[in-house]
Amino acid sequence: MKRAALLFVFALFAVSSFAAHVFAEDAGKADAGEKKYEKATFAGGCFWCIEPPFDKMDGVVDTIAGYTGGTVKNPTYRQVSSGTTGHAEAVEIIFDPEVVSYDELLDVYWLNIDPTDAGGQFADRGSQYRPEIFYHSEAQRKAAEASKKRLDESGKFKDPVVVRITEATEFYPAEEYHQSYYKKNELKYKMYKYGSGRQSFIDKNSKEESSD
């Protein structure tokens, strides 16, 4: 009996030690993963149209449609769309900087908005649809300022680039039905993107860029 009890205790100790080792190893991986991910926040009109381009990029872990830059806590879509809360529809991007750089995210951002229109984007008018870059660090601020300057000086647009670059404030995820809307309502999304004028603007400027 003593031997059996001793073997049982030994086996229990071995299992516990193994489990503790695995847990510690997994925890280390999780910590490492959390440390290497960064956030980018961009507003560019309707967030339905801003999410898809970033979802396609290698190194982008997640995208979240939401509201930021305003004064009301926990705003609803109805409140934000009224233009009275100060928020802009925006997308928060979680990315791995070892795979995709912030500069590359900025390049995609510029390709999917009209950077010369501060009053909204395409068919959507009002401050809630304004284009704006919300930086999360001094490095992001400098990168955004430099990227904006390069675009402005490139002569690609006859009007000046007017996108504001401001420090990120609290970001509120939008209602669930707005998340990845282009996947949930593919036909409505495409009709909206074409009907608003965004797609034709993107196509026109992409062609001009490729012909340069």
- What is the residue extent of each domain of the chain? 36-211
| Confidence band for 35, pLDDT divided at 50, 70 and 90 | low
Topology (CATH) of 36-211: Peptide Methionine Sulfoxide Reductase; Chain A (3.30.1060)
Q: What is the pLDDT of residue 130?
A: 98
57 alpha-carbon distance from chain centroid? 11
Q: What is the pLDDT of residue 117?
A: 98
pTM strictly above 0.85: no
Q: What is the DSSP letter of 123?
A: T
Query: Residue 108 CB: number of other CB atoms within 10 A?
Result: 17
Q: What is the pLDDT of residue 27?
A: 36
Q: Is the pLDDT of residue 18 over 50?
A: no
- Catalytic (active site) residue 49: no
CA distance 4 to 148: 74
Return phi, psi of residue 174, to 5°: -75, 170
Residue type, 12: L
Contact between 86 and 69 (Cβ < 8 Å): yes
Annotated active-site residue in 40, 43, 46, 161: 46
What six digits make up the tokens of 206? Answer: 């992409």
pLDDT digits (tens, 9 = 90+) for 38-84: 999 999 999 999 999 999 999 999 999 999 999 999 999 999 999 99
Residues in contact with 113: Cβ distance below 8 Å, sequence separation at least 6, in sequence order? 44, 45, 50, 121, 131, 163
